[in-house]
Amino acid sequence: MSSRGAETVEQQSLGLKALFAGLDPNTDSAVLDLGPASGTNLTFFSQLGCRVHVADLYRSLWDSAADRPTDAATFAEACSSLLPDSDDHRFDYILTWDLFNYLTQDQITAVVEPLTALCKPGAVLFSMISIRHQIASRPGSFQILEPGRLSTQQAPSNARPSPEYKEPQLLRLLPGFLVRRCFLMRHGVQEYLFEYKPVSAGNEQPAAGLPGPRPRSLRMP
Amino acid sequence: MWKKQDSDNASPPLASSPSAPAPLPSRKDSQAQPSRGAATIGPSIVIKGDVSGQEDLIIEGTVEGEVSLRKHNVTVGRTGKAKADIYGKNIRVEGEVRGNLFGEEAVVIHETGSVAGNITAPRVSLENGSTFKGSIDMGASVDSGQPGAGSKHKVGHPGKASGNKPGAQL
């Protein structure tokens, strides 16, 4: 990610804290990071005994003008080629960070389809959805300082309109996923932990908008 | 060991916090190698094939194939481009690699480095500014070529470079 004009801030992340709270370092967990590679994050995951795959999706799709996909089919194909082979990889955690804020609904669908094939049953997808009207011009770069704290490097805010995705929209775009936890943060981000519960696994999937397995939604004081 | 041209390009140690893993070997540590200096593939050199040998190697040119110096250090310099799988003791990337890295001790991606491929090494360092896409496995054995528990060994993404040309022996 270009650092020109970028500002670095530290933020709390209750979503990440909850995500890693139940992680047992003695188990072999696999993490798929759709953001740019970070040595800090690698150190964090290695201390938890996690294997990491970095996809750096946004930079791969948009930073090279020659490769920028121009239609939905090309975009879907590009996403599939950037993600690891589902025959060899399955993940327990997927970090989308703020990527969905920069994708149209069709593009989210195109990304989620190959992601679903990479999920182990019960896999958790972490997403930071903006609730503000304006967002930065491009996704940020996030470094995990500790389970509940992030260092965020992002272009100056208010550079483009935010899609302001709501939970029912997201659940339609993420078939097979349920909201496990949801946290409203005071810096204008709603952090979601989506859990992958395929219907074929015998789990009844509630319709979007109906009460699901979500324990509670916390608002940051 | 890495014979850097610019002295201010020293790689910072990995450990920057109390709970961080042990620091990667310094240049001084890595210089405890056979007395013969590192071989260098110059910027204008293009090798298509397999490279193997018994000494450290600095790649400033282009290599397509496989680089196998398991007991020695391999550096892909700033002008270096490797479309190859690289096996080494300590591997440092300051240029571009499209292939998998297998470090017996450590792999370091410098801030100027760009890697698309998988890394297998007990210690891995990604410096700020570096570019990386692929998997990182710090629990696998490089000698056995077997992945960590729960995953198959996968060559590629973007894929293993082919090596049908005669190898270059150092």
Q: What is the CATH number of the domain that holds A82?
A: 3.40.50.150
- Mean residue pLDDT of chain A comes to 84
Q: Looking at CA atoms only, how far is residue B86 from chain A in angstroms?
A: 19
Residue B22 lies in a domain: no
Whether A46 and B21 lie within 8 Å, measured CB to CB: yes
pLDDT recorded at residue B161: 36
| Facing residue for A39 by CB, picked from B128, B150, B152 | B128
**Any B CB within 8 A of A85 CB:** yes
Residue B159 lies in a domain: no
If one compares B129 and A212, the residue with the highest pLDDT of the two is B129
Mutate to test the interface with A, among B118, B133, B155 (most CBs of A within 10 A): B133
Tokens 């496990």: give the residue: A180
pLDDT recorded at residue A154: 84
**Any A CB within 8 A of B138 CB:** yes
| Chain A residues closer than 8 Å to B127 by CB | 39
User: Token pair of B26, please?
Assistant: 């310094």
Q: What ipTM was assigned to the predicted interfaces of this complex?
A: 0.79
If one compares A72 and B143, the residue with the highest pLDDT of the two is A72
| Chain B residues closer than 8 Å to A51 by CB | 135-139, 148, 150-151
Residue A182, CA atoms < 13 Å, CB-side half-sphere? 19
Whether A52 and B149 lie within 8 Å, measured CB to CB: no
Of A125-129, B13-17, B107-111, the least confident: B13-17
Q: Looking at CA atoms only, how far is residue A215 from chain B in angstroms?
A: 31
pLDDT recorded at residue B153: 34
Residue B114 lies in a domain: yes
Backbone conformation region of residue A97, classed left if phi is above 0, alpha if psi is from -120 to 50, else beta: left
Residue A1 lies in a domain: no
Greatest Cα pair distance in chain A: 49
- Asked if the model's pLDDT at residue B27 lies above 70, the reply is no
DSSP labels, B13-75: PS--STTSPPPPPPHHHHT-S-SS--EEE-TT-EEEEEEE-SS-EEE-SEEEEEEEETTS-EE
Residue A101 lies in a domain: yes
pLDDT tens for each residue of B58-108? 999 999 999 999 999 999 999 999 999 999 999 999 999 999 999 999 999
Residue B7 lies in a domain: no
pLDDT recorded at residue A67: 54
If one compares A5 and A24, the residue with the highest pLDDT of the two is A24
- Asked if the model's pLDDT at residue A140 lies above 50, the reply is yes
If one compares B132 and B128, the residue with the highest pLDDT of the two is B132
| pLDDT band (50, 70, 90) for residue A1 | very low
Cα B133 from Cα B101, distance rounded (Å): 12
Whether A43 and B148 lie within 8 Å, measured CB to CB: no
Q: How many domains does chain B have?
A: 1
- Mean residue pLDDT of chain B comes to 75
Whether A53 and B130 lie within 8 Å, measured CB to CB: no
Q: What are phi and psi of A75, to 5 degrees?
A: -65, -45
Q: How many domains does chain A have?
A: 1
| pLDDT band (50, 70, 90) for residue A44 | very high
pLDDT recorded at residue B32: 42
Residue A2 lies in a domain: no
**Any A CB within 8 A of B64 CB:** no
Residue B111 lies in a domain: yes
Residue ranges making up the domain that contains A179: 7-219
Residue ranges making up the domain that contains B74: 38-150
| Facing residue for B152 by CB, picked from A36, A38, A88 | A88
Q: What is the rounded average pLDDT of the residues A175-201?
A: 90
Cα B170 from Cα B167, distance rounded (Å): 10
pLDDT tens for each residue of B34-61? 445 889 999 999 999 999 999 999 999 9
- Asked if the model's pLDDT at residue A86 lies above 70, the reply is yes
| Chain B residues closer than 8 Å to A37 by CB | 109, 126, 130-133
Whether B132 and A54 lie within 8 Å, measured CB to CB: yes
Residue B89 lies in a domain: yes
